[in-house]
């Protein structure tokens, strides 16, 4: 099972992510910002509260992205 092992929130709603399978790159949260509970992530202070839980990325008010979603959308640079 693939997991997110480290994250670094960056500017422009990007998160630098390292995965347990060795992949690393940027996950862009901006496509989700106008959808339901994800609108709260528009606030930069709140966005930077991202953390890892059960191998995915989560925020305090129940927004989350699974490791599978992150891996599929990972932008390798």
Kindly report, residue by residue over 30-54, the tens digit of the pLDDT.
Answer: 999 999 999 999 999 999 999 999 9
Share of the chain above pLDDT 70, in %: 99
| Cα–Cα nearest to 40, from 55, 67, 65, 60 | 60
Asked if 51 and 38 count as a contact pair (C-beta separation under 8 A), the reply is no
Give me the residue spans of the domains in the chain: 4-73
Q: How many angstroms separate the Cα of 19 from the Cα of each of 30, 33, 43, 53, 60?
A: 20, 23, 26, 13, 22
- pTM for the model: 0.94
Tokens representing 43?
């606030």
Asked if 55 and 4 count as a contact pair (C-beta separation under 8 A), the reply is yes
Q: Would you identify the CATH topology of the domain 4-73?
A: NE0471 N-terminal domain-like (3.30.2020)
């Amino acid at each position: 099972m693939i997991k997110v092992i480290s994250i670094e929130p960056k500017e422009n709603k990007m998160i630098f992510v390292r995965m347990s399978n060795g992949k690393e790159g940027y996950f862009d949260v901006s496509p989700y910002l106008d959808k339901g509970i994800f609108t709260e992530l528009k606030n930069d202070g709140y966005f930077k509260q991202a953390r890892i839980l059960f191998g995915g990325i989560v925020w305090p008010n129940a927004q989350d992205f699974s490791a599978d979603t992150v891996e599929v959308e990972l932008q390798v640079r």
